[in-house]
Amino acid sequence: MSEMTDDKKNRKTDCGNEVRPFGIRDKIGYMFGDFGNDFSFIFASNYLMVFYTKVLGLSGFVVGLLFLGARFVDAFTDVTMGRIVDHMQPARDGRFRAWIRRMCIPVAVSSTIMYLYFVQDWVYWAKLVYVIITYLLWSSFCYTAINIPYGSMASVISSDLKDRASLSTFRSIGASLAGLVIGVLVPLIVYETDAAGNQVVKPVQFTLTAVVFGILAVGCYVLCYMFCQERVVFHKKNAKKESIREMLKGLGKNRPLLALVCAALVLLLATLMGQAMNNYLFLDYFKNARALSVVNVVGIGGTLLLAPFISGIAARFGKKEAGAVGMLGAGIVYLVLFFLRVKSIPLFMALFFLGTLGTGLFNMIIWAFITDIIDYQEITTGRREDGTVYAVYSFARKVGQALAGGLGGFVLTAIGYVSEAPSQTREVAERVYTTATLIPGICYLVVFLVIQFAYPLTRREVEKNTKILQEKRGS
């Protein structure tokens, strides 16, 4: 059990640190946190499979097994990290914020060493050992140890619904900016056209890019740490320690969490597989890898265009209601792309832009769903479990990431993609197009159905829960 206090005036925490009112500084700081996260997460989601297959020469099937196998490790490390941040005594700089200070350098280093180009000259078994160790070190340990505290921190930066919606928006802006940098620069840096006109990868540039992104990630984490402050303070009461069984039982009754876990799993599968397959789409279908930079700008542009209106949309229509509409629109657009079999890059960009308006709307709201679910968990169980709830959601996202990478690798093998070949047959290229459009289209429609019919936290329910907690804090 816990009691919470929160106010928007300057005050001091139990550790004696002065806390200023919530403002733009917190929003920018939280934005930089996801900017730092995505220098490793988006880079890995979009290009790690390319590095493993095109540079190290691993088969798509082996890469898929690696990505899926790592998620079994995450089933333990994610929840363990959530329990640690929930129950460990807070440091002077906060319960969650302290982990950004502790882990910013380890996560950057572990991400960088996944892209060492000279490993391509090792024997095959040594390559496998290298990718298993470095991938697990980054994804299951270092990234987990910074991402779960960072994501949980939103619920203690402010208890106000509008503040939390703005934090969700700024977090998504940070992810979009990271995606813009990665989406525009990486294709220009790591791809080139050989004498025969084929699109090939430059191994050394992969390593150099990873080093630069690691340095930039540390800088972003430092800004997040400096600009954000925790305001909602939890005073733990003496109570019987909750067992793992009791914890799982409580989480299992959290219908909003279970619905969002399902939605997140399918969403990440669709989004990350689409992003990863876009590399092969432009390499082998459109035969213009550098055009991928322009497509990435177009896609992220739609998300950034919506950013100023997200808080107003969420306040007027509700997060659930707006998110469901966004997913419905995105699913329809991708199915249109599939049936049209587009050959023109400009037409593909135009339809892709419309699809990103839908996914962008949902992604900018989704982080505020988590804070609503954390509140719901406290109301239904009497326990405040920010880290644990976020850890469960984070694990679902990682499963989606793994399925995207794993199924992407399996699909490449199934459609006859030859990693060592300088170019693919037209038949294989057509199959790549089908994978890059049909799978996201179906998955986005599934997300719409889950949010619309299984997720219960409507605007009215969220407002009701917020009022209950405000009365509890005032008592």
**What's residue 238's pLDDT?**
43
> Cβ distance 471 to 340 under 8 Å?
no
Structure confidence by residue, pLDDT tens digits, 180-230: 899 889 988 998 877 766 778 899 999 999 999 999 999 999 999 999 999
**What's residue 6's pLDDT?**
46
pLDDT along the chain (475 residues), means of 10: 45 55 94 95 89 90 84 83 85 91 97 96 95 95 94 86 84 88 88 74 94 97 96 59 62 85 87 81 85 82 82 86 95 96 92 92 86 86 79 78 71 80 82 91 96 92 85 64
Helix extents (H) in 51-159: 60-87, 97-112, 124-136, 143-152, 154-157
Structure confidence by residue, pLDDT tens digits, 220-247: 999 999 999 998 776 554 445 555 566 6
Token pair of 20, please? 């200023």
> Cβ distance 407 to 285 under 8 Å?
no
Distance CA 410, CA 412 (A): 5
Distance CA 364, CA 302 (A): 12
Output the pTM of the full model. Answer: 0.73
What single-letter amino acid sits at 79?
A: V
Please report which helix (H) or strand (E) contains residue 12, including its range: strand 11-12
Q: What is the DSSP string of 180-210?
A: HHHHHHHHHHHEEE-TTS-EEE-HHHHHHHH
What average pLDDT is seen over the chain?
85
Give the chain's end-to-end CA distance (angstroms, integer).
15
What letter does residue 318 receive in the DSSP assignment? -
Please report which helix (H) or strand (E) contains residue 224, including its range: helix 203-227
Residues with Cβ < 8 Å from 321, sequence gap 6 or more? 458, 459
Please report which helix (H) or strand (E) contains residue 332, including its range: helix 319-340
Neighbour-count burial of 367, counting CB atoms closer than 10 A to its CB (0-12 exposed, 13-18 middle, 19+ buried):
buried
Strand, helix or coil at 241?
coil
Q: What is the DSSP string of 417-434?
A: --TTSSS--HHHHHHHHH
**What's residue 445's pLDDT?**
97
**What's residue 7's pLDDT?**
43
Token pair of 200, please? 């090939």
**What's residue 76's pLDDT?**
83
User: 């509008």: which residue's tokens?
Assistant: 162
**What's residue 473's pLDDT?**
62
